[in-house]
Amino acid sequence: MRRHLPTVAARRKPTVAVMLQLFTAVLRLAPSDWLPHTGGLVARAGIVSCRDAQVVANLKRAGAVLLGSTNISELGMWWDSDNPVYGRTSNPYDTRRSPGGSSGGEAALLCACGTPLSVGTDTGGSIRTPAFFCGLFGHKPTAGVVSVRGCNIHQDAESSVLQCPGPLARHAADLRLVLGVLAGERGAHALSLGQKVNPGGVEVFSLEGDTDGVLTSALSRDLLRVQRAAARHFQHTYDCTVKKVRIPGLQWSYQIWREKLAEETQDDTPIYEQLADNKGEINVGTEITRWLLGRPRHTLASLGQALLAKGVAEMQFLGDQKKVLLGREAAASPSKRKAHVDAQWKALQMRIQRLLGHNGVLLYPSHPTQAPYHGESLFRPLNFTYSAIFNALGFPVTQVPLGLAPNGLPLGIQIVGGMHQDHLTIAMAEDLERHFGGWVCPSRIL
């Protein structure tokens, strides 16, 4: 792909690789001009985008040819890819299983060789989880480097701490290519994407789980085995010491991510209004009844979140009324819980940045299990926090496929870097691809 780039154009943009006649697809949260822009909502069925998201505009300027937009979870708010408008996306390795979400349509299409490259957005692992389930490379950039302008149906901010547009690819080197275009020349320079890396000179740390988190599943044996194999590779190939570490605070992953999401979306309408496309609100009871009768307008995951949000809103209202009646209106200071979680976030971010610095990477599980069966995510709702915690902390992370397990499903790990050290995580991913083989075709025909 890169061999055929025009020499003159490549010289003009040395750190931002030129994508001449490069075909790619984008998920529905990052709209392209005159393509469907539904967000998986029945209320938006038939709506098309009238302009490009910033990352899509960057791709087009670089010469990319867009194939289309792909499926996501409803509102992009679940780690599966199912919605009432387009239905369910399946995993190319086993169609009984989930491709992940919310960028699951992208990952499935890319894995099945429907497109050479893909672009998604990552708010809670939405690039890395589908990439892991579908045996691909995926990269969440350092927070705030890539513009999110136009990437959401109900807001239009320029930057975000949690949400990061990024690339998915079958080969690690293509991550650098696409990320350079998404970030623009200034962003590519900030991430040092043109800098060469000697894997033998990088400090490698390994953490096998979320430090006794009680809200997530235990790490599977196959995933533990392959993470240790990756650590041994760095030890034996480069004669370096891979240090096993424990990082206090990771057991608070969900609470930290949830608090940061609440901070970033505090001006947004609640989910039960967003499900009505901000034109009133859905009747949660009625919609649950429709779901039970087999005529759903929303997924069960969305209805569960709406029911929870409605309950929390009612509890807050009753609590505020109680304070007024008791003459405690002034008790509206930040809660002890929020202050505690914020302190945990700051401490955890500082610990990891101090550990990794400018020349270290952390090997960490992408997910505690391999791709689950359809619907299984409802019974393991918080497993996504293995990836989501790094959205809250802002660090760059690359998901790396490491072959297939005996059951034929992909294995993999995350490589986490310090702030703005995206070039390090991608370089280490390239090294692991050379050793473990990277993406494995899900079909004998292709």
- Residuewise pLDDT in 10s, the chain (446 residues): 444 433 333 344 433 334 444 566 665 556 566 678 788 888 888 888 778 889 999 999 999 888 888 999 998 888 899 999 999 999 999 999 999 999 999 999 999 999 999 999 999 999 999 999 999 999 999 999 999 987 876 666 667 889 999 999 999 999 999 999 999 988 989 999 989 999 999 999 999 987 556 678 999 999 999 999 999 999 999 988 899 999 999 988 999 998 998 888 776 688 888 888 888 899 999 999 999 999 999 998 889 888 888 777 666 545 555 555 555 554 445 577 778 888 999 999 999 999 999 999 999 999 999 999 999 999 999 999 999 999 999 999 999 999 999 999 999 999 999 999 999 999 999 999 999 999 999 987 76
Same structural domain for residues 116 and 66?
yes
pTM strictly above 0.75: yes
Same structural domain for residues 172 and 71?
yes
CB 368 within 8 A of CB 217: yes
- Give a yes or no: residue 443 inside a domain: no
pLDDT recorded at residue 213: 62
- Give a yes or no: residue 263 inside a domain: no
pLDDT recorded at residue 23: 61
Same structural domain for residues 68 and 215?
yes
Same structural domain for residues 344 and 315?
no
Same structural domain for residues 131 and 31?
yes
Q: Which of 327, 356, 375 is the last residue of a domain?
A: 327
- Give a yes or no: residue 259 inside a domain: no
pLDDT recorded at residue 141: 97
Q: In a 3-state reduction of DSSP, which class is residue 124?
A: coil
Structural domain harbouring 210: 2-252+339-436
Secondary structure (H, E, C), 404-437: ECCCCCEEEEEEEECCCCHHHHHHHHHHHHHHHC
Same structural domain for residues 53 and 128?
yes
- Give a yes or no: residue 78 inside a domain: yes
pLDDT recorded at residue 270: 84
Q: Which residues lie below 8 Å from residue 413, measured CB to CB, with a gap of 6+?
A: 223, 226, 227, 230, 363, 364, 365, 366, 399, 400, 402
Taking the C-alpha atoms of residue 182 and residue 121, their distance in angstroms, rounded to an integer, is 11
**CATH (domain of 117):** 3.90.1300.10
Same structural domain for residues 92 and 232?
yes
- Give a yes or no: residue 217 inside a domain: yes
Same structural domain for residues 295 and 355?
no
Taking the C-alpha atoms of residue 368 and residue 219, their distance in angstroms, rounded to an integer, is 4
Same structural domain for residues 302 and 352?
no
Q: Which of 327, 347, 365 is the last residue of a domain?
A: 327
Same structural domain for residues 48 and 76?
yes
- Give a yes or no: residue 444 inside a domain: no
Same structural domain for residues 136 and 177?
yes
- Give a yes or no: residue 333 inside a domain: no
Same structural domain for residues 217 and 320?
no
pLDDT recorded at residue 58: 93
What is the number of domains present in the chain? 2
The structure tokens 């945990």 sit at 344
- Give a yes or no: residue 441 inside a domain: no
pLDDT recorded at residue 19: 43
